[in-house]
Structure 1
Amino acid sequence: MLIDYHVHALAHGEYEYSFSWIEEYLRRAQAQNIAQIGFSEHDWFEERIDIELVKGVAARSEFCRMMVRVGIEVDYKPGREPEISRILAQKPYDFVIGSVHHLGEWPFDHPDHKNGFLQREIDEIYQEYYAMIDRAVKSNLFDVVGHLDLIKVWGFKPTARQENHFIKPLLRGMRMSGTVVEINTGGLRKPVKEMYPSELLLRDLFAHNIPITFGSDAHHPEELGSGLSAALQTAWKVGYRKASGFTRRQSTSYPLSEIRQGIS
């Protein structure tokens, strides 16, 4: 019973919602033993998210045992809070992922802009990034923090000690707010070749009793569920025994033992 709450059927805009396209995702989910799937398009595609279409496909008898949810991934920037609130009020989303993809006007995870890491001190970049995540959490707009340490995407890293120093205030904020953090396996397909967050950070999350969920960050059916078995095993090794699912912005905990049985 794998769960995948980070799925982009529209990818970067090159695909469209259609009955056959969503059906392809759900059939792939069945083949991957995924019992819960959450579509989470980027917020700049909000007008193209068709919740009723997804529900229509999910209602087919062949998918009756699968939990199909529709959320949204929102790019957080300071000052966007009113706009984000407006976006979230437009549709009955099951969950909302808050992510940081920009520092100022710098889209740090875009391949055309990775040289920006060579123009500043790495510690300074990480400190700014985690401060931005902290602001996103404290906005209380989001249910899930997306790819917590995305800033490492190109392999530029501070020392572990420095990163721990930057993330401590954030951990306290997440614990107090009840925010869920996803284990996002998309990083395994990026130059860094690691999950988000790292196992070291995941141990910090567990120590602070911060709940988790899972997401493959799939942008195509072939990527759906990629790396989730490894993510599950890592979570279990760290000490987690539950993972979160969502319905209408409410989280529910599911035993990891059941999920582990599904991949044994």
Structure 2
Amino acid sequence: MKFDLHTHHFRCGHADDNIEDYIKAAIKAGLGVIGISDHSPFFASVEDRPNPGIAMAKSEFVHYIDEVQRLKAKYESKIDVLLGVESDFFPEHAAVYRDIYAQYPFDYIIGSVHQSRGVSIFNRNRWKGLSEAKKQDEKRHYYKLIGQSAQSGMFQVLGHIDAMKGYYPAFSAIQADDAIDEALRLIADSSASIEINTSGSTKDVGGWYPSDAILERACHYGVTVTFGSDAHKPSRVGEDWDRVAKRLKQIGYKQWVYYKNKQPVAVPL
């Protein structure tokens, strides 16, 4: 059975079309499960929508949840629609986010590090003029945040754990294996899975997140995995699912999971 836990829509300000369009695309692609997981609002901000091109407004959040719940019921005979959200992880604001999420019946929450030291992980300019030692420090800090996100217990899924390479492919060659291994150990000790996210194909780096090298290490540490296209347009729903499944089997995985009512559902590879 095919599933996709990572999709966006118009509310975040940088994706196309409505939630229902993604559900219809999932049915057309032969998926049995589709997760809706738009970007969380910036809950710690005093403004309703401080970043219109990045995330939905706080005032839209309840409407988002209501719409997913309505569509879940509408399509229950055709596909299992899951209520998710892609949450930013800011350690200093974790309690704020945790308290808000506790009010709603999420099937799963994706925890993603999108900012490190106050700068977007996709910002190419953050690497300009840095020494190799400083680049290593930046990479280690990024993986420290990912490890902290696992330890928080807030998330069922950790999103795109090497997405910093998206617009800076040289990121993968920066030596920080100790930091990656520590993050993977913390993830393995948590109840969270990492996603294989195929949206790298839309960035400079190509391919998917995380790299095969990291997936091999994740398998070694016993980290469970799930799938997300991170689709920002309906045509990408389920993209490369079969290719990813084949590669995971080659690496040594026997199954992957999706989440319903925050409980893992195993799907054999």
**TM-score, normalised to structure 1's length?**
0.87
**Equivalent residue in structure 2 for 1:114, among 124, 148, 155:** 124
Specify whether residues 15 and 100 from structure 1 end up closer, same or farther in structure 2 by C-alpha distance, changes over 3 A only.
closer
Structure-2 residue corresponding to 1:36: 33
The alignment covers a number of residue pairs equal to 248
TM-score under structure 2 length normalisation: 0.85
Amino acid at match of 1:51: I
Q: What is residue 2 of structure 2 aligned with on the other side?
A: 2
- Cα separation, 1, equivalents of 2:250 and 2:259: 24
Displacement of 1:60 in angstroms is 3.6
- Which residue number in structure 1 is paired with residue 149 of structure 2? 136
Is the CA contact (8 Å cut-off) linking 1:58 and 1:64 kept in structure 2? no
SS at match of 1:128: helix
Q: Which of residues 196, 208, 232 is equivalent to 2:245?
A: 232
Overall identity of the aligned pairs, in %: 29
Q: Is the CA contact 1:178–1:210 (under 8 Å) kept in the aligned structure 2?
A: no
Distance 1:242 1:15, change over 3 A: closer
Matches within 5 A, 1:110-259: 113-120=123-130, 121-154=134-167, 155-159=169-173, 162-256=175-269
**Matches of 2:72 and 2:89 in 1, distance apart?**
30
Query: What is the CA distance between 1:158 and its match in structure 2?
Result: 4.8
The one-letter amino acid paired with 2:72 is A
Alignment partner of 1:8: what SS? Answer: coil
Distance 1:129 1:188 in 2: 22
- Shift of residue 68, structure 1, vs aligned partner: 0.9
Secondary structure (helix, strand or coil) at the match of 2:250 reads helix
Kindly indicate whether the alpha-carbon contact (under 8 Å) linking 1:133 and 1:170 is maintained by their aligned counterparts in 2. Answer: yes
Q: Report the secondary structure of 1:218's partner residue.
A: coil
- Post-superposition shift, 1:98? 0.7
Give distance in 1, aligned partners of 2:147 and 2:90.
Answer: 11
Secondary structure at the counterpart of residue 38 of structure 1: strand
Give the alignment of 1:13-32 within 5 angstroms: 13=13, 21-32=18-29
- Determine the C-alpha separation between the residues in 1 that align with 2:115 and 2:32: 33
CA distance in 2, matches of 1:54, 1:16: 16
User: What is the letter of the counterpart of residue 220 of structure 1?
Assistant: K
Counterpart of 1:23 in 2: which secondary structure?
A: helix
The residue that corresponds to 1:94 in the other structure is 107
1:54: Cα distance to partner?
Answer: 2.4
Seen in structure 2, the aligned counterparts of structure 1 residues 32 and 134 have a Cα distance that, compared at 3 Å, is same
C-alpha separation in 2, matches of 1:220 and 1:152: 22
Q: Give the whole-Å Cα distance in 1 for the aligned partners of 2:239 and 2:155.
A: 24
2:165/2:172 contact within 8 Å kept: no
1:56 maps to what in 2?
70
Could you tell me how far apart the structure 1 residues matched to 2:253 and 2:14 are? 37
Q: Deviations over 1:205-243 (max 9, x none)?
A: 111111110000011112212222222221121111211
Secondary structure, aligned partner of 2:138: helix
Structure 1 vs Structure 2 CA RMSD = 2.0
Structure 2: segments with no counterpart, 5+ residues: 42-55
Q: For structure 1, list consecutive stretches of 5 or more residues without a partner in the other structure.
A: 257-264
1:126: how far off?
Answer: 0.9
Determine if the alignment matches structure 1 residue 69 to structure 2 residue 82.
Answer: yes
Q: 1:123, CA displacement in angstroms? A: 1.6
Q: Contact 2:8–2:15 at 8 Å: present in 1 too?
A: no
Q: Secondary structure at the match of 2:6?
A: strand
Aligned-pair CA distance for 1:53: 2.6
Q: Which residue of 2 is the match for residue 261 of structure 1? A: none
Q: Secondary structure at the match of 1:246?
A: strand
